[in-house]
Amino acid sequence: MEMPHTPATVLVVDDAPSNLTILTESLRSEFDVRIATSGAEALRLVCEVPPDLILLDILMPEMDGYEVCRRLKATPSTRHIPVIFLTAKGDVADETLGLAIGAVDYIVKPVSIPIVQARVRTHVELKRRGDILETLSMRDGLTGIANRRRFDDTLERSWRQALRHASPLSLIMADIDHFKAYNDTYGHMAGDECLRSVARTLADTLKRPGDLAARYGGEEFAIVLEDTTLAGAAHLAEDMRQAVFALGMPHQGSGVSDVVTLTLGVATAIPRPGQLPQSLLGMADRKLYEAKMAGRNRVLAATVL
């Protein structure tokens, strides 16, 4: 398992300038160290750029470390960030509370710098290994792009975001035409290579980091496009159709063309309260079916009302 080469980011949260200086100087040779002097500032920085680990003082005015940790662990996007408490509260009850809230470690002040360095190093490595395993669990083993689980998670998250901002969310469903006939003609090894080529082509067509191309199942793919209108999504779907056609992969078993082709259904919604993301998925799937019935190797699109 290959570990990332870029330095991990450690956020140090303490209202005492002397503590911040000592900790920053002791960690900066190995890590990208950022600082916050209050709980509110820490939460803001975490939302902007999530760190790999947080060193968190407990005794702070206005919002103590316990409350900061509770809020981090209650938020899906930040609950995975390991928190190490740094505190003068050395009672067993205090340590038990800190670990129960969700901290991975508890260091009592005055701290030993070598101990802090060693524990930060250990927990950063554990976090990064966990991130790698999580990434692998979200990747389709055959094509290398996102799998169905990652697609489901992304669609749910993107739907909630579009609902908050009243922005359009688009979905493309794509299917390789007559793929069973392709396997029957060229064999399953060639079929697997066809799937990989199409997957790479779809992923390469995307330009924005927030967009996602996933293998939905079999020879079917799904593409999530945040903040994208129906016209924009349909245009991108047509680019994908042409890009797959341009691969020129022979397909003698196709009744559509002598090369591999793609049929795509597109749907766009501006989510409303009470509406479910399945409505977007259902419309995209319906347009895909209609495009197949209309002769395949084409794009059909519609808005979810």
Active site residues: 219
Burial class (CB in 10 A: 0-12, 13-18, 19+), 293: exposed
Q: Which residues contact 4 (CB under 8 A, 6 or more apart)?
A: 128
Rg (CA), the chain: 25
Integer Cα distance of 19 and 9 in angstroms:
18
Handedness of CA 293, 297, 298, 299 (dihedral sign): positive
203: which 2 tokens?
């992923």
Q: What is the dihedral of CA 190, 194, 195, 201, to 10 degrees?
A: 160
Neighbours of 224 (CB within 10 A): 25
Q: Which residues contact 304 (CB under 8 A, 6 or more apart)?
A: 267, 268, 269, 279, 280, 283
Handedness of CA 222, 225, 228, 234 (dihedral sign): negative
24: which 2 tokens?
């920053």
